[in-house]
Every structure is written in C-alpha cells, then in structure tokens.
Amino acid sequence: MELIYQRCCGLDVHKRIITACIRLLEENGSIHQETRTFDTMTRALLEMADWLAAAGVTHVALESTGSYWKPVYNILEGRFRLVLVNARQIKHVPGRKTDVKDCQWLAQLLQAGLLQGSFIPERPQREFRDLTRHRSQLVAEKHRAANRIQKILEDANIKLASVASDILGASGRDMLRALIRGETDAEKMADLARRQLRSKIPQLRPALEGKVTEHHRFMLGELLHHLEYLEGRIEEFSRRIEEVSRPFAPAIAQVATLPGFDQRSAQNVVAEIGADMDTFPSAQHLSSWAGVCPGNHESAGKRKSGKTTKGNRWLRSALSQSAWAASRKKNSYFQAQYRRLAGRRGKKRAIVAVAHSLLTIIYHYPLGNEL
C-alpha cells in the first residue's frame, strides 16, 4: 500500500489504559514502529502527548469508544491532526485481537490514508451540542413523568383526561393539587376550572369522582413534584443555551423561519450540524450522515435493501419532529409531499422524506443569510 503520511500514531483507548503505536517512515524507506501503554489520568495523557510530539508525529487515529475518547481528544486537540474513527470500519483480521495489534492496525491504516474520520465540530459547538442533547433528554423524561401521572389517575378512576385536553395545564394542576391535599368533593374541584374549561364543568364533575386512596395521593404528589423539578431544569438549560448559542444566532434564526421549526428545534438542528455547510461535501452526504435518506445495499446487480442508516439520532429526531409539524402546514410543499407518499409508502417513510427535504433546504442556503 502507498503510504500517505510519514509519521502516524494509532491509539487503542479503554477506560483505564491506552495503548499507543507510533509508525514512522524512515528516509531509507523502512518502517520504524514503537508501542507504549499509558493510563488515562491527565498526567499520563500529557506525557503521551509529549512522547508523540518528540517523535514528530503529525497524525493520530483513535476509536470512538463510548465517551472514553473525549478526554484524549481534548488533550491532543491542537497539537496533532486527529482522526476519530468508527470501530466497525476498522475490523482486524480474526484471531489477531489484542490491544497492541489494534493500535498497530490503526496506525497502519492511518498511514495508508484508509481511515475515514468522524465529524467532530469545534469546542464551542460541542458544548452547545451537549446542552441541547441534555435538554432533549430532560424533555423526554418530563413526558414520561406526565404519562405516569395519567396512569395513576386512571388507576384511581379519575377521568380528567377524557374532558380536559391537557391535564397539566393551569386548571388540571389546580385539580391535581386539590386531590393531593385530600379533597374529595368533585364539585369543588370542578369549580377550579379556568377560562374555556369552565364551560365543561358539568362534564368535569363525574370525571373527578373516583376512588382515590392515600397511595394515589402520595404517588401523584411525588410525580407532580418531579415534573415541576424537570420543568425548572429545562428552563435553566434553555437560558444557558441562549447564552452559548449567540455565535450561532443568525443560523438559528434562519432555520426557525422554515415550516415546522421553532426556536428550540432550530437550536437542536444547528447544534448538530453547525453553521458552516462546507464541512459536508454535499447535501446527500449530510443527509446520509443524519440518517434521513435511503441506504445502499446492492449485490450482483440487485438492490437488497434501501432502509435508512442509524445516522445521528439527535439530528434525526429533531428533523422528524419538525417534519411532522411541516406536514400539517396548509398549502405547503411539505404537506403535499407527505400526502403523496403516506398513502403508498406509509406515514413513517413519508415523514423521513419530509425530514430529508428540510435538511436539503438547510444545506443549500448559507446559514446566517436571509432565505
């Protein structure tokens, strides 16, 4: 194989140890190879970085092993050209699996230019992305808590959800707090309804007549407290995201103008892809990376499967949510596209197609400029 880089290193990263192999192309054409093992403490990582620098290493490859690669990447960033690779793309010959063999194989593949690096954004975007991802997890947990509250109400035969569209609105929460305090008079609880819900007081009275035990009150109290705690954390993260995302504000504002997007969903998308589309060679490449386009599996001239790849699950989730909203915008291209595909391909495939279209539009318009 033709050697592309003269001085390389492969790192086999684990929780407690890192095995490093430097591979150097000498002037006479021979290959010098040296392997060392380091622990993962910060002092050892700095020692490893100095060893690589003293050897004249320019390119370093490491596997994306869980979250263990992150501290290594942070310390080596700026001193070497780093290539983070997916473990499934560098399978070794069966029967030769050791840490030393792994790092040597990594170094050999890197020196031959056969490794395809993962997309690793700059540190400000990585921090922005960490915040939006954690907020998404908090929002998902909030929905789970709301579902648990509904489950307890059903167990107590309180049919509030059959009358009120949102049991966790202002009226619903007042009624829940009354239940938790021990209130048993359905008429008094129904009278807590506000605004438009007051027109449904006659339906609320029988709906609030159930068999609520002390156990139900305890569970409702704990779940409501947990829900309110999560809402507070979500608000705190949202404020922090507003501060961190200021450099990306023009891109976020532009994405938010697209059908199906609001401020939060635009933040989630920009946090994943950034504002510089030059990072991705084409819209097709970006769509494949996001997992919203058909996959390729062809053999002997026959197409075996076209299912989408896993891609970036955070980006795919954000796009899918926006696609559902865009497909309901009247007289829009996205609504027409969804209806055209949903009947013959199914609703889920249609949503993925709408998500693909949205991402293609985002790619082709330089973020930060007006659409």
Do 44 and 20 contact (CB within 8 A), yes or no?
no
pLDDT band at 114, cuts 50/70/90?
confident
Q: What is the DSSP letter of 4?
A: -
44-48: long-range contacts, CB 8 A cutoff, minimum separation 24:
44/18, 45/18, 45/71, 45/72, 45/75, 45/76, 46/75, 48/18, 48/20
Q: From CA 150, how far away is CA 148, in angstroms rounded? A: 5
Per-residue model confidence (pLDDT) at position 341: 94
- List C-alpha distances in Å: 210 to 163, 167, 213: 14, 16, 9
Q: From CA 101, how far away is CA 106, in angstroms rounded? A: 9
Architecture of the domain delimited by 124-244: Orthogonal Bundle (1.10)
Average pLDDT of span 26-30: 83
Residue 81's SS3 state is strand
pLDDT in tens, 294-311: 766 666 666 666 677 788
Per-residue model confidence (pLDDT) at position 88: 74
Average pLDDT of span 273-298: 86
pLDDT in tens, 139-188: 999 999 999 999 999 999 999 999 998 999 999 999 999 999 998 888 99
Number of Cβ within a 10 Å radius of residue 130: 12
Do 146 and 227 contact (CB within 8 A), yes or no?
yes
pLDDT band at 4, cuts 50/70/90?
confident
Kindly list the domain boundaries of the chain, sorted by start residue.
7-111, 124-244, 246-299+306-364
Average pLDDT of span 344-353: 92
Do 118 and 279 contact (CB within 8 A), yes or no?
no
- Helix, strand, coil % (nearest 5) of the chain? 55, 10, 30
Do 72 and 18 contact (CB within 8 A), yes or no?
yes
For the domain bounded by 7-111, which CATH number is listed? 3.30.420.10
pLDDT tops 70 at residue 121: yes
Per-residue model confidence (pLDDT) at position 253: 93
pLDDT band at 96, cuts 50/70/90?
low
pLDDT tops 80 at residue 369: no
Q: From CA 297, how far away is CA 312, in angstroms rounded? A: 19
Specify the amino acid at residue 64.
S
Do 207 and 160 contact (CB within 8 A), yes or no?
yes
What mean pLDDT is reported for the chain?
Answer: 90
Per-residue model confidence (pLDDT) at position 370: 41
pLDDT band at 115, cuts 50/70/90?
confident
Do 230 and 142 contact (CB within 8 A), yes or no?
yes
pLDDT tops 50 at residue 68: yes
Q: From CA 12, how far away is CA 212, in angstroms rounded? A: 58
Residue 282 burial (10 A CB sphere; 0-12, 13-18, 19+): exposed
pLDDT band at 371, cuts 50/70/90?
very low
Per-residue model confidence (pLDDT) at position 305: 62
pLDDT band at 210, cuts 50/70/90?
confident
Average pLDDT of span 5-12: 92
Of 179, 186, 184, 183, residue with least CA distance to 221: 179
Residue 197 burial (10 A CB sphere; 0-12, 13-18, 19+): buried
pLDDT in tens, 227-280: 999 999 999 999 999 999 999 999 999 999 999 999 999 999 999 999 988 889
Concatenated DSSP letters of 101-138: HHHHHHHHHHHTT---------HHHHHHHHHHHHHHHH
